[in-house]
């Protein structure tokens, strides 16, 4: 018998390259006598070649050499030393099986393709009866390929060395079948999960155009890439109520998918027909990475999420870039590690989303993102509501027609801040918790803090554009678990927030024991027209109507340099509020503002100490800081008034550089008392100014003083 059958396998490869993935029309014409060769007749028909020793396949560039077995057989390949046979299935398909013809006990089948001798050396495991064989490697070894037609397993052509097709790259199609091998779009699998399960490490699953409806989460696997073609939609079935649509964590589906990637997919959570997080009390996510390391989420569009868009906790080297995420009930991106100080080194870059929160993750880079929130009710179109417990009734202004669950309602000068659980109608809402009792009260509704980062260390937050929302634009904070320490916040733009554009809190929940913030650089940022929600979010006056706020908890070595605040409607009381901080906590330089009601820094003076010569009931008021300048008023009173009394002014915001004793120029600018010369205006420390009034104050008279 001749081993031309193996040359014929290369011929089958030619058929596979020209007949797509349909079952090949390889059929047998007549019987093939044992001991005879096989010849190609025409159009995929094979026949008996008799005992001819050469020439039958040479016109196709294949020459068979050496002894071999050619047979029609359905027995399994069970031994590494069985010789291979070419057969035909009853439905016209081709099959490779084995037959130990002539008592052969050693491998001996060889064939020549394009001048290169190939040998079938071993069988890589048994090939069961009625299943198919395919190449295992370029050396010509074969393995079981399951129920898929063997001809589609050969990715080569006559005249070239056969290269085996592997499951490194698999395809998914809405017209596919999970019984297919998935090696080509024509032999694609039907479900994404089947392809992921079959893929080899470092392989890619390509999802072709169409809609894929999920009733169970897709479980990713380590070092597998899931890549979608244009026109792909992965959506959640009605009432599926999945905890995640795509899971890298292994908690919901599959196994922990270290090093896995999802790219270019449109994922629709079908929010209208599934129960959300606020209603169910169970976290829902479109993509969940959990605690999985080295995950990449790149270039996807995520919409209509019943909960979070992308969510997880502690991980290292997470990359989230170039995604579009909107219309989710909760945060577009949410990564929270409650114990804090986890070395994450994540990269959140160049995404377009609504709002995000990172907590307790260190070493991250957050840059180039656009975050655009919604706001209903503002100074131009005020909203008024009545609140009774969790029930909210519209009174006037914009209706609730565009409001969605998960948005934040703020009312009563900011004293009420509650998430919206359900939207009942254009005039009725239900809150996620009681809002008390308010009648015809000024309110605003919209997205909560747009870019939130808490308890972080060595994190860069730069070049992000943040617009709209009912609360803060950029919201940074320490908490009871960790400081906000050693971070850089640079060149961000915050545009038209309902409350302050920029907020840094040393304690995210006042009086909860927050550890504060230290050693942070805040440079080159721009806040435009903040507090657009007006008095709905804050009381009038010094309280909280500011472009920038740095408040609450222990602060030290906070540098504010080259920042700008622009207020076209004079909505802000001042550009910066640092009320309640210790002397010297903030260092300022080269900042500027336009349009605020007051040009200075609110709370910039931490305290003023009056010497005994002002009287034992003397007071100070009208205290204000202008960054590198301060002003205040002293009223003399009581007993003990004497000549040349002293004043010590302790400032929160100091000059950027303090070399030795800085000289300050102080003068009286107004008051009912005699305007006298002030002297010895020196900084005894970088944040303390010592002043002496040359004269004797008069009881009950006022003395207004300004230093710069």
DSSP state of 390: T
Structure tokens at 499: 């409350």
Q: Residue 243: name the closest of 267, 218, 226, 264 by CA.
A: 218
CA 446, CA 373: separation in Å to the nearest integer?
A: 7
Enumerate the β-bridge partners of residue 562. none
Cβ contact 284:244 at 8 Å: yes
Q: Give the Cβ contact number of residue 350 at 10 Å.
A: 17
Least confident span in 82-96, 299-313, 366-380, 599-613: 82-96
Position 585 confidence tier, pLDDT thresholds 50, 70, 90: confident
Q: How many residues does the chain have?
A: 708
| Three-state SS sequence of 504-556 | EECCCCCCCCCCCEEEEEEECCEEECCCCCHHHCCCCCCCCCEEEEEECCCEE
Q: What Å distances lie between residue 558 and 551, 578, 704, CA to CA? A: 11, 11, 30
CA 93, CA 74: separation in Å to the nearest integer?
A: 13
Q: Quick check: 164 pLDDT over 70?
A: no
For the chain, percent of residues with pLDDT exceeding 90: 52
Q: Quick check: 99 pLDDT over 60?
A: no
DSSP state of 7: H
Delineate the domains of the chain, giving CATH numbers in brackets.
4-164 (no CATH), 375-446 (2.40.30), 605-707 (no CATH)
Instruction: Give pLDDT, residue 76.
Output: 37
CA 274, CA 247: separation in Å to the nearest integer?
A: 18
Instruction: Give pLDDT, residue 305.
Output: 97
Q: Residue 541: name the closest of 475, 591, 596 by CA.
A: 596
Q: What Å distances lie between residue 155 and 27, 254, 500, 669, CA to CA? A: 20, 30, 62, 91
Cβ contact 558:652 at 8 Å: no
Cβ contact 98:77 at 8 Å: yes
Q: Residue 68: name the closest of 21, 119, 115 by CA.
A: 119
CA atoms within 13 A on the CB side of 291: 6
Could you report the per-residue pLDDT of 444-492, keeping only the tens digit for each? 999 999 999 999 999 999 999 999 999 999 999 998 888 999 999 999 9
Structure pTM?
0.73
Cβ contact 98:84 at 8 Å: yes
More confident residue, 42 or 98: 42
DSSP state of 200: P
Could you report the per-residue pLDDT of 184-238, keeping only the tens digit for each? 888 899 999 999 999 988 999 999 999 999 999 999 999 999 999 999 999 999 9
The backbone region for 271, taken as left when phi is positive above 0, alpha when psi lies in -120 to 50, beta otherwise, is alpha
Position 276 confidence tier, pLDDT thresholds 50, 70, 90: very high
Position 693 confidence tier, pLDDT thresholds 50, 70, 90: confident
Structure tokens at 635: 């009223």
Mean pLDDT of 494-508: 92
CA 211, CA 218: separation in Å to the nearest integer?
A: 14
Q: Quick check: 593 pLDDT over 70?
A: yes
Instruction: Give pLDDT, residue 111.
Output: 35
Instruction: Give pLDDT, residue 588.
Output: 81
- Range from 101-105, 420-424, 535-539 that averages highest in pLDDT: 420-424
Instruction: Give pLDDT, residue 373.
Output: 97
């Amino acid at each position: 018998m001749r081993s031309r059958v193996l040359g014929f396998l290369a011929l089958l490869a030619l058929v596979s390259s020209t007949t797509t993935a349909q079952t090949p029309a390889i059929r047998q014409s007549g019987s093939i006598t044992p001991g005879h060769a096989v010849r190609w007749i025409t159009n995929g028909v094979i026949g008996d070649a008799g005992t001819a020793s050469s020439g039958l396949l040479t016109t196709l560039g294949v020459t068979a050499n050496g002894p071999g077995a050619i047979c029609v057989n359905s027995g399994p390949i069970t031994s590494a030393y069985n010789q291979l046979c070419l057969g035909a299935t009853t439905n016209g398909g081709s099959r490779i099986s084995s037959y130990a013809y002539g008592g052969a006990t050693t491998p001996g089948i060889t064939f020549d393709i394009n001048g290169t001798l190939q040998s079938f050396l071993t069988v890589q495991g048994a090939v069961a009866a009625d299943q198919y064989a395919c190449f295992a490697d370029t050396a010509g070894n074969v393995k079981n390929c399951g129920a898929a037609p063997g001809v589609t397993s050969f990715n080569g052509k006559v005249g070239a060395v056969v290269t085996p097709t592997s499951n490194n790259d698999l395809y998914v199609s809405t017209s596919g079948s999970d019984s297919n091998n998935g090696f080509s779009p024509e032999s694609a699998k039907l479900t994404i999960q089947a392809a992921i399960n079959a893929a080899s490490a470092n392989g890619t699953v390509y999802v072709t155009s169409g809609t894929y409806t999920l009733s169970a989460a897709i479980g990713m696997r380590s070092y597998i890439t899931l890549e979608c073609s244009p026109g792909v939609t992965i959506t959640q079935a009605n009432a599926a109520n999945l905890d995640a649509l795509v899971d890298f964590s292994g908690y919901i589906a599959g196994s922990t998918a270290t090093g896995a990637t999802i790219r270019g997919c449109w994922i629709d959570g079908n929010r209208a027909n599934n129960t959300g997080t606020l209603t169910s009390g169970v976290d829902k996510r479109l993509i969940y990475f959990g605690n999985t390391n080295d995950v990449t989420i790149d270039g996807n569009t995520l919409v209509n999420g019943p909960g979070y868009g992308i969510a997880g906790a502690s991980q290292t080297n997470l990359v989230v870039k170039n995604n579009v995420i909107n219309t989710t009930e909760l945060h577009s991106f949410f990564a929270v590690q409650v114990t804090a100080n986890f070395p994450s080194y994540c990269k959140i870059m160049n995404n377009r989303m609504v709002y995000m929160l990172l907590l307790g993750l260190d070493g991250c880079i957050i840059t180039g993102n656009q975050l655009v929130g919604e706001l209903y009710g503002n100074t131009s179109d005020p909203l008024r509501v009545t609140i009774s417990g969790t029930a909210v009734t519209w009174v006037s202004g914009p209706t609730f027609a565009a409001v969605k669950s998960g948005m934040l309602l703020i009312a009563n000068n900011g004293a009420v801040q509650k998430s919206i659980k359900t939207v009942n109608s254009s005039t009725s809402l239900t809150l996620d918790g009681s809002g008390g009792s308010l009648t015809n009260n000024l309110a605003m509704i919209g997205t909560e803090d747009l870019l939130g980062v808490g308890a972080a260390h060595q994190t860069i937050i730069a070049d992000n554009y943040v617009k709209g929302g009912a609360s803060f634009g950029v919201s940074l904070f320490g908490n009871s678990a960790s400081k906000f320490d050693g971070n850089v916040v640079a060149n961000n733009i915050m545009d038209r927030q309902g409350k302050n554009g920029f907020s840094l809190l040393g304690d995210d929940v006042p009086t909860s024991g927050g550890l504060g913030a230290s050693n942070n650089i805040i440079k080159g940022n721009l806040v435009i027209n903040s507090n657009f929600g007006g008095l709905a979010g804050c009381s009038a006056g010094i309280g909280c109507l500011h472009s920038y706020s740095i408040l609450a908890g222990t602060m030290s070595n906070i540098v504010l340099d080259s920042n700008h605040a622009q207020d076209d409607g004079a909505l802000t009381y001042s550009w910066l509020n640092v009320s309640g901080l210790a002397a010297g906590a903030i260092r300022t330089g080269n900042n500027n503002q336009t349009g605020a009601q007051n040009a200075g820094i609110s709370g910039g003076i931490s305290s003023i100490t009056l010497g005994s010569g002002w009287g034992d009931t003397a007071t100070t008021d009208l205290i204000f800081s202008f960054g590198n300048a301060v002003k205040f008023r002293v009223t003399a009173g009581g007993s003990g008034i004497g000549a040349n009394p002293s004043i010590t002014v302790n400032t929160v915001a100091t000059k950027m550089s303090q070399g030795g004793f800085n000289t300050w120029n102080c003068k009286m600018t107004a008051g009912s008392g005699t305007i006298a010369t002030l002297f010895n205006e020196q900084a005894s420390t970088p944040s303390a100014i010592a002043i002496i009034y040359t004269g004797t104050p008069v009881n009950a008279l006022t003395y207004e003083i300004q230093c710069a």
